[in-house]
Chains A and B, each alone.
Chain A
Amino acid sequence: MEAAGGLAKELGNWTEVADFYKRACELYAESGKPQPGADALARGARALEDAVPDEAVRLYLDSCAILEEEDKEQLAFDTYRAATNLYLKLQRFEDAANMLLRWGLAADKCKAIQSQCKAYLSAIITYLYAQDLKQAEQCHVDCTQIDVFLQSEQNACAEKLLQAYREADPEEIKYVVSKSSTIQHLDHMIIRLAKQLPTGDMKAIASASGNIQDNELDVNNCIC
C-alpha cells in the first residue's frame, strides 16, 4: 500500500496518497504492528507536506496519537518535530506551541529532560513570535511548576527573554537571543523565529499583558 501511495504521489492524486497510507497503517495495526503503522502515516504526511499541508498535519497528529497510545513516545519525537515545523510553515503559531507542549509531555514520560526543556523554551519563543506575551507568560508559569525545567538553563534564558519583553526593550531582547547558547541549540526553525524577535509593537504587547503582571505582583505580595 505504501508503494501505491508513492505512485499516487508521483501521479499527483493527493487524496489517494492519503487513503493509501491510512490503509497501510490500518493493515499494520490489524497485524499487530502499530509502530510501523505510525511510521507509515508519518511517511504519508511527509509526501503530502507541500501539496496538501492540512491533510499532512492530520496524518502527523494521528501518527503521534498511535505512538502515545502504545507508550512509545520516544519514537514520536521526529514526528513531533516535523508537525511543529509544518505548523510554523503554515503560520499556525498557537498550534505549533501546543504541539511543542505535547512534545514536552512525551519527553517527560520518557525522562528525556533535555528535549523537554528545549520543547518548553521553544513554545515560549513561538508565543513571543506570535506577539502573545500573555500566553507566553502563562506558559512559562505553567512550565516552571515542573522542577526539571525550573532548574534548567532553558528556564534562565526564558526568564531573561520575558523580562526584556516586559521592559519593552528590543535591544535587550536581541542581546539575549544573540548571546544565549541555549537558543542556538534549539531546532533550526525556532532559532530562525528567535532571531527575528521582537516582532510587532513592543509597547502594545507589553501593555496587553500589563494586567497579568499586576496580578502576579498581587500574588507575590500576598505570599510575602
Chain B
Amino acid sequence: MTVISILTRLDTLCKKYEKYDLEKQGGAQDSSNDAFLKLYKLMESDIEAALQKSSDASIEKNRAAVATLNAEVRRAKASMRNEISHLQKLAHKKVKGVTKEELAARPDIVLGLVGKIEAIPEGTIMGIKPKGGKPPAIPFEIKMDGVNPEDLIHPEQYQDTEESKGFREVVQKKKGKQDEGLEVISEGLETLKNMAQDINEELSRQVPLVEEIDSKVDKAALDLGNTNIRLKDTITKLRSSRNFCIDIVLMCVVLGIAGYLYK
C-alpha cells in the first residue's frame, strides 16, 4: 500500500466521521452569533502562523528562504492591519449573550491584538552588505612630462593652425562614430549574454528530462528485443514442417467430406 493511498483513505475516513469532531462543532456553535469573536479567533490564528514563519526565518540558514519568509510575514501583517479597523467596528456592536463588562473590555482586547501584530518580527534590516571580492586596482604611475626648456624658447610650435584644427575635428568625429559603434556592439553583446544565460538554464532544466527519456527508451528497447525473440520462437514452432503436413492432410480430408456431402 503506498503512502498516497493511505492518505486518501485517511481523508475519506475523516470526512465520514467529521460530525463527531466535538472541537469543530463546539467552536462553530459558539461563534455562530458573534462576528467579533469569529474575526478575533481568525486573527489570533493568523498571528500564530505569522509568528511561526518569523521564528522559522530566524532559524533558516538559506538566505533566499529567509527573504521569502520575511516577505510573507510582512504581507500577513499588512492584511491583519487592514482587518483591525473592521474588528474595532465590531467591538462596539452589541451582541446577545455578551455582558456589558465584556463589551466594554473588547476595545482593549483589540488594542492588545494590535500590539501583538506590531510585535511580530519581520526580519531585521541589517543594511546592505558592502560589495566585496573586487580585485584591487593595479596602481599605475602617471608620468608627468617635465617642461622642456626648448619649448619655452619656441612656444609657437604648440599654437593651433587651421590644419591642425581641421585634423582635430576629424579625429573627434571619428571617435564619436567609434563610440556609437561600440555602444551598439555592447548592447548586442549584453543581449547575447542574457540569451546565453537563459539558454544555459533551459538546457540544465532539460538534462534530467532527457536522461529520463533515455532510460525509458533503453528499457523499451530491451522489452522489444525480448518480445522479438519470443515471437521468433513461436513462429518457428508454428511453421515446423510436420505441423504443416498435418494441416494439409486435415484440410484435404475436410474438403473430401464436404465434396461428398454436397454431391
Q: A residues within 8 Å of B by Cβ?
A: 26, 29-30, 32, 74-75, 77, 94-95, 97-98, 101-102, 104-105, 107-110, 112, 114-116, 120, 123, 135, 138-146, 150-151, 181, 185, 212, 215-216, 219-220, 223
Determine which residue in A30, A101, A102, A109 has the highest number of CB atoms from chain B within 10 A of its CB, and name it. A101
Interface contact A104-B68, CB-CB below 8 Å: yes
Interface contact A150-B131, CB-CB below 8 Å: yes
Whole-angstrom CA separation of A221 from B54 in the bound complex: 27
Interface contact B67-A143, CB-CB below 8 Å: yes
Q: Which of A95, A185, A223 sits near B194, CB closer than 8 Å?
A: A185
Interface contact A135-B74, CB-CB below 8 Å: yes
Interface contact B125-A112, CB-CB below 8 Å: no
A-B contact pairs, 18 of them (CB 8 A): A26-B8, A32-B4, A101-B67, A102-B68, A104-B64, A107-B64, A114-B197, A115-B201, A138-B123, A141-B128, A145-B129, A146-B63, A146-B64, A150-B128, A181-B187, A181-B194, A185-B198, A216-B127
Interface contact A30-B2, CB-CB below 8 Å: yes
Interface residues on B, range: 35 or more
Interface contact A145-B70, CB-CB below 8 Å: no
Q: Which of B70, B191, B200 sits near A138, CB closer than 8 Å?
A: B70
Indicate if B165 sits at the interface (CB-CB under 8 A).
no
Interface contact B127-A98, CB-CB below 8 Å: no
| Contacting residues, chain B, for A110 (C-beta < 8 A) | 204-205
| Contacting residues, chain A, for B200 (C-beta < 8 A) | 114
Indicate if B149 sits at the interface (CB-CB under 8 A).
no
Closest to B127 in A: A219
Q: Which of A145, A185, A219 sits near B63, CB closer than 8 Å?
A: A145
Q: Which of B8, B66, B72, B75 sits near A145, CB closer than 8 Å?
A: B66
Q: Which of B67, B127, B201 sits near A139, CB closer than 8 Å?
A: B67
Interface contact B201-A112, CB-CB below 8 Å: yes
Nearest CB on A from B208, distance (A): 8
Nearest CB on A from B12, distance (A): 12
Whole-angstrom CA separation of A116 from B63 in the bound complex: 12
Nearest CB on B from A110, distance (A): 8
Mark contacts of B64-96 with chain A using CB atoms, 8 A cut-off: 1 yes-contact digit, 0 otherwise.
111110111011001000000000000000000
Mark contacts of B121-134 with chain A using CB atoms, 8 A cut-off: 1 yes-contact digit, 0 otherwise.
01101111101010
Nearest CB on A from B225, distance (A): 26
Whole-angstrom CA separation of A97 from B70 in the bound complex: 12
Indicate if B148 sits at the interface (CB-CB under 8 A).
no
Indicate if B5 sits at the interface (CB-CB under 8 A).
yes
Known: A142-B70, A181-B191. 7 other contacts (CB 8 A): A29-B4, A94-B78, A101-B71, A105-B67, A108-B65, A150-B128, A181-B194
| Contacting residues, chain B, for A74 (C-beta < 8 A) | 204-205
Indicate if B62 sits at the interface (CB-CB under 8 A).
yes
Q: Which of B65, B74, B125, B204 sits near A105, CB closer than 8 Å?
A: B65
Q: Which of A98, A101, A112 sits near B204, CB closer than 8 Å?
A: A112
Whole-angstrom CA separation of A212 from B70 in the bound complex: 16
Determine which residue in A30, A104, A142 has the highest number of CB atoms from chain B within 10 A of its CB, and name it. A142
Whole-angstrom CA separation of A114 from B198 in the bound complex: 7
**Residues from 185 to 199 in B contacting A, C-beta threshold 8 Å:** 187, 190-191, 194, 197-198
Q: Which of B68, B72, B125, B194 sits near A216, CB closer than 8 Å?
A: B125
Interface contact A98-B71, CB-CB below 8 Å: yes
Whole-angstrom CA separation of A140 from B71 in the bound complex: 11
Interface contact A141-B78, CB-CB below 8 Å: no
